[in-house]
Amino acid sequence: MSGSLHIFRREVVNGLPHFQINYNLVGRSFAKVVDGDHQLNEFLEVAAALPGDVIEDAWKQLDSTGSANVVDVDIAESQAIANDMRIAPTDF
């Protein structure tokens, strides 16, 4: 079953920006905060296994609006937990 990623840039006065990643499935949500561009890229490339063009589009969205939405993402619940995502409350 596929879900969607919602990524939000959280600016920090000193240091690297933080990114909050929410992964939403029907009936379940996961969340994680990563530090800096490198960690976000690593998550998108490895944990989410997104193709390069989708990652590039997500960065364009982040650069223009501070947030990005990526649909049709397949991350198994066990994989989300293994990548330090925490189960979050959901209204879906």
The pLDDT tens digits along the chain (92 residues) read 789 999 999 877 777 789 999 999 888 899 999 999 999 999 999 999 999 999 999 999 999 999 999 999 999 989 999 999 999 876 54
pTM: 0.88
Q: What torsion do the CA atoms of 4, 21, 46, 60 make, to the nearest 10 degrees?
A: 80
User: Residues near 56 by Cβ (< 8 Å), separated by ≥ 6?
Assistant: none
| CA 72/CA 60 separation, integer angstroms | 18
Going from N- to C-terminal start, the domains of the chain cover 3-88
